């Protein structure tokens, strides 16, 4: 017996929730970014599962676009983090509080 | 048999995902992310999306995690920044995660996602030929837009990572 669609969707929700938890709890910008990637991957898992169980191709194709956007996003985001580190010498979000002052 | 494989891969993936969140050392976190992606690729294979599993490993594990590791090394942020526990943030995170899972649980309990057994036959994600056929007919415009997006991202990264030259005013 193969696992049902529900189990895949629940697993993807759990992965998404863990990523979300990481974004809220961690203070290091790089770790927050990795958790964002985790959330993207969780959504692709749900898309592939829906696509497989409903016999449509849209989900599978959409995953390709998510992968492309994620790659572009990581490149730009990490460049921003490096620029931020050059300006402030830190990647901890607690210490990036110029607007708070 | 398939159920056992699914359960073990799912447990492995969730454990590695937790490792990303909980790892003190950022390099260990990136390694956990790599293993987590390998687990998701395994799940893709179980869903008969072989091509997507390959692409996931190639793009995410090959490029994204490698880029993360480069930046971690470059910034020297791997030196075990102890992660300070904050009651409010942790509480908010746990509540939000629990709400998300409970909500989806309710939907699946009411049978709204019940689609029956998987459709017989290989899906589009299983072979390059079927996939490319879809990409270059039905989804041609999105493919072009993605190409443009990648170009813009590349230019953006070049501009962002450039050091200001002597003549320019430094902020």
According to CATH, what is the number of the domain A5-100? 1.10.287.3510
Average pLDDT of A49-59? 85
- Averaged over B31-53, what is the pLDDT? 92
Q: How far is CA B50 from the centre of its chain?
A: 17
CA distance B19 to B29: 6
**pLDDT bucket at B19, cuts 50 / 70 / 90:** very high
Q: Any idea what DSSP says for residue B77?
A: T
- B132 within some domain: yes
Count helices and strands in chain B by DSSP H and E runs: 7, 0
What pLDDT score does B123 carry? 65
Mutate to test the interface with A, among B18, B89, B93, B133 (most CBs of A within 10 A): B93
Between chains, do A6 and B108 touch, taking CB under 8 Å as contact?
yes
pLDDT at B93 over 90: no
Q: Is B156 on the interface with A (CB under 8 A)?
A: yes
Q: Is the per-residue pLDDT at B63 higher than 60? A: yes
Query: Which is it for the CA torsion B57, B59, B64, B66, positive or negative?
Result: positive
| CATH number of domain containing B17 | 1.20.120.1200
Percent of chain B residues past pLDDT 70, beyond the cut:
80
B25: pLDDT strictly greater than 90: no
pLDDT by residue (tens digit) across A3-43?
888 888 889 988 998 998 888 888 888 999 999 999 999 99
Q: Model's pTM, two decimal places?
A: 0.86
- What is d(CA B126, CA A51) in angstroms, rounded to the nearest whole number? 12
Cβ atoms of residues B101 and A42 within 8 Å = no
Q: Mutating which of A71, A77, A86 best tests the B interface, going by the most B Cβ atoms within 10 A?
A: A71
Which of B81, B102, B136 corresponds to the end of one domain? B81
What residues of B are in contact with residue A83 (Cβ under 8 Å)? 160-161
- pLDDT mean over A50-55: 85
How does residue B119 score in pLDDT terms, banded at 50, 70 and 90? Answer: low
Residues 6+ apart with CB under 8 A from B132: none
Counting beta carbons within 10 angstroms of the beta carbon of residue B26, is it exposed (0 to 12), middle (13 to 18) or buried (19 or more)? Answer: buried
Question: B residues 93-112 near A, CB within 8 Å?
Answer: 93-94, 96-98, 100-101, 104-105, 108
pLDDT at B169 over 60: no
Q: Determine the Cα angle at A18 with ends A74 and A55, to 5°.
A: 80
Residue B100 inside a domain? The answer is no
Interface test with B, best of A7, A35, A36, A48 (most B CBs within 10 A): A48
Mean pLDDT (chain B) is: 83
Query: If pLDDT is split at 50, 70 and 90, which confidence band does B78 have?
Result: low
- Contact check, Cβ <8 Å, B123/A51: yes
Q: What is the largest CA-CA distance in chain A?
A: 59
Please list every residue in chain A whose beta carbon sits closer than 8 Å to the beta carbon of residue B67: 74-75, 78
Cβ-Cβ contacts under 8 Å between A and B: the total is: 237
B57, part of any domain: yes
Minimal Cβ distance to B30: which of A34, A50, A80: A34
Torsion over CA: A68, B65, B32, B49 (sign):
positive
Residue spans per domain, chain A = 5-100
Verify that B1 and B72 share a domain, yes or no: yes
Which chain B residues touch A91 with a CB distance below 8 Å?
75, 77
How many Å apart are CA A51 and CA B107, to the nearest integer? 18
The crossing angle, in degrees rounded to 10, of helices B26-46 and B65-75 is 180
Full domain range(s) for residue B45: 1-81
On whether ipTM exceeds 0.85, the answer is yes
From chain A, pick out residues whose CB is under 8 angstroms from the CB of B18. 18
Domain count, chain B: 2
B37 CB contacts (<8 Å, ≥6 apart)?
A41, B56, B57, B60, B61, B65
Q: 3-state class of B145 per DSSP?
A: helix
d(CA A29, CA A69): 20
Q: How far is the C-alpha of B23 from the C-alpha of B35, rounded, in Å?
A: 13
């Amino acid at each position: 017996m193969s696992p049902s669609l529900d189990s895949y969707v629940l697993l993807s929700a759990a992965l998404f929730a863990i990523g979300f938890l990481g974004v809220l709890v961690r203070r290091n910008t790089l770790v927050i970014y990795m958790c964002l990637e985790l959330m993207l991957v969780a959504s692709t898992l749900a898309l592939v599962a829906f696509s497989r169980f409903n016999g449509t191709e849209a989900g599978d194709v959409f995953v390709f676009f998510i992968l492309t956007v994620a790659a572009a996003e990581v490149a730009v985001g990490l460049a921003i983090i490096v620029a931020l580190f050059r300006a402030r010498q830190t990647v901890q979000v607690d210490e990036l509080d110029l607007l708070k002052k | 048999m398939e159920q056992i494989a699914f359960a073990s891969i799912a447990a492995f993936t969730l454990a590695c995902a937790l490792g990303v969140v909980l790892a003190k050392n950022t390099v260990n976190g990136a390694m956990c992310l790599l293993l987590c992606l390998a687990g998701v690729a395994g799940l893709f294979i179980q869903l008969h999306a072989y091509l997507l599993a390959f692409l996931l490993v190639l793009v995410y594990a090959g490029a994204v995690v490698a880029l993360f590791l480069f930046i971690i090394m470059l910034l020297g942020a791997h030196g075990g920044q102890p992660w300070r526990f904050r009651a409010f943030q942790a509480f908010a995170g746990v509540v939000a995660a629990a709400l998300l899972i409970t909500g989806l649980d309710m939907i699946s309990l009411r049978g709204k996602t019940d689609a029956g057994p998987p459709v017989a036959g290989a899906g589009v994600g299983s072979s390059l030929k079927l996939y490319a056929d879809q990409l270059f007919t039905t989804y041609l415009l999105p493919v072009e837009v993605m190409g443009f997006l990648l170009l813009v991202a590349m230019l953006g990264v070049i501009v962002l990572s450039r050091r200001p030259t002597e003549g320019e005013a430094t902020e």
